[in-house]
Amino acid sequence: MFIDEAVIHVVGGDGGNGCVAFRREKFVPRGGPSGGDGGDGGSVTLVADRGLNTLYPFRFQRRFAAGRGGHGKGDNRHGKNGAALPVSVPVGTVVKDRETGEVVGDLVEEGQTLLVAAGGKGGRGNARFATSTNRAPRRADPGTKGDQLDLALELKLLADVALVGLPNAGKSTLISAISAARPKIADYPFTTLVPNLGVVSWERFRTFVAADVPGLIEGAHEGHGLGIRFLKHVERSRLLVHLVDAAALGDADQIAEAEKTVATIEHELASFQPELAARERVLVATKDDAASPAQVAAVAAAAARRGLAFFAISAAARHGLGALVSHLGTRLDALAARADARHGKEAVP
């Protein structure tokens, strides 16, 4: 089950108390203080794990507590440190303080860790307080409390390419045709209820990740349909592929209808996040095997007016897919090289 939001409570382990003790040994008449320090409490850390793609496990366990530190003992014995608790979350998880809404961290790389609840420090035993003028201190410190925090986890999928469009535009069929993803496909709106990820191969040993985002409708940014919940999964994508069902355009004014269809998605993306409207985008006319040349030309005209790359495909008939995939891979390489140049990195051959 795909779950992209969860709330958890994390607790760092308490530090152990310091000990007050004195040596009691034969032939050692003035043994002195021998109370050991308490152990430190364990910490809770979140670890990004590419093997996870949903926050579903957090529906069943919401409290995560690290081990507390052991108390100090006599004979200068240090209390055992509490066990740390690593918690695996999907790559792409945004971590927020539930009370303030402040972003605590963003886990975007495999193996990246985030300390969310530090353990308390162990208290000092009385051996720590011995001085030349106070040789028998009866003081020891208590351990400090570990951090406690309510966290809101929000998953934003990491995909290079996001497939967007109105319901039944052919997004699921396309991702199933160019990758091993097998989303549900049917001839009614909102077939896709959750985002689907697929690894797309292009050239030799080259791949990129595509995401099939559930269909958007007018008003999606205001909560209509399923859009508002899943628009966030478009944010991290470097390229957008806007699919338009060419065969669904009416017979009256196909150019105006194509324009309205394209503008609807543009408006929803811009309303959700203005930066998305400026992101590089490819316009694709789908189901061209069932569409007339005039219908395909109407979508091509909408792309030309915006200066967008245009492709006509039929995912079901496997027509035009090679050119589209090759273009996407080439553009992703160019965007990566541009980003490396901005950060002063050498391009990877």
What amino acid occupies position 122? Answer: G
Please name the residue that has the structure tokens 């994508």.
237
Q: Which helix (H) or strand (E) holds 274?
A: helix 274-277
- Looking at the fold, whether 40 and 136 belong to one and the same domain comes out as yes
Same domain? For 80 and 147 the reply is: yes
Q: Is 239 part of a structural domain of the chain?
A: yes
Answer yes or no: is 348 within a domain.
Answer: no
Same domain, yes or no: 143 and 172:
no
- Specify if 59 maps to a domain: yes
Domain final position from 95, 125, 155:
155
Residue 349: inside a domain, yes or no?
Answer: no
- Which CATH number is 273's domain given? 3.40.50.300
Do 200 and 293 share a domain, yes or no? yes
Q: Specify whether 184 is located in the same domain as 324.
A: yes
**149: enclosing H helix or E strand:** strand 148-155
Q: What is the pLDDT of residue 313?
A: 94
CA distance 191 to 320: 24
pLDDT digits (tens, 9 = 90+) for 86-135: 999 999 899 999 999 999 999 999 999 999 999 999 999 999 999 989 98
CA atoms within 13 A on the CB side of 325: 23
Residues 173 and 278 in one domain: yes
Q: Are residues 140 and 166 in the same domain?
A: no
Res 63: pLDDT = 97
- Co-location of 69 and 105 in the same domain: yes
* Count of C-beta atoms within a 10 Å radius of residue 249: 24
- Number of structural domains, the chain? 2
Instruction: Check whether residue 147 and residue 242 sit in a common domain.
Output: no
Token representation of residue 109: 């790389």
Which whole-number Å values give the CA distances from 247 to 187, 259, 264, in the listed order?
13, 14, 18
Determine, yes or no, domain membership for 212. Answer: yes
Domain hosting residue 258, numbered range: 161-342
Strands 5-11 and 93-97: unpaired
pTM given for the model: 0.73
CATH code, domain with 148: 2.70.210.12
Contact by Cβ (8 Å): 243, 257: no
Same domain, 139 and 195: no
- Cβ(281)–Cβ(242) under 8 Å? yes
Assess if residue 87 is contained within a domain: yes
**Which of the 8 DSSP states describes residue 222?**
G
CA atoms within 13 A on the CB side of 190: 9
Distance CA 139, CA 183 (A): 66
Q: Give the CA-trace dihedral at 187, 191, 196, 199, to 10 degrees.
A: 0
Q: What is the pLDDT of residues 190-233, one digit of tens each?
A: 444 567 788 899 887 788 988 888 767 555 445 444 555 667 77
Whole-number Å distance between alpha carbons of 13 and 11: 6
State residue 185's pLDDT score. Answer: 54
- The pLDDT, as a whole number, for residue 190 is 47
Q: Is residue 180 part of a domain?
A: yes
Per-residue pLDDT at 194:
67
Q: What are φ and ψ of residue 98, in 5° steps?
A: -65, -35
Q: Are residues 186 and 132 in the same domain?
A: no
286 in helix, strand or coil? strand
Same domain, 175 and 319: yes
Q: Write down which residue in 130, 155, 180 finishes a domain.
A: 155
Domain boundary among 136, 155, 174: 155
Distance, C-alpha 311 to centroid of its chain: 30
Domain membership flag for residue 244: yes
Rounded Cα gap, residues 302 and 310, in angstroms = 9
CB neighbour list of residue 285: distance below 8 Å, 6 or more residues apart: 244, 246, 291, 295, 296, 299, 300, 310, 311, 312, 313
Residue 256 DSSP SS3: helix
Of 147, 143, 128, which Cα lies nearest the Cα of 70?
143
**Is beta strand 281-286 parallel, antiparallel or unpaired with respect to 239-245?**
parallel
- Rounded Cα gap, residues 73 and 68, in angstroms: 16
Low-confidence ranges of the chain (pLDDT < 70): 1-2, 181-194, 215, 217-230, 343-349
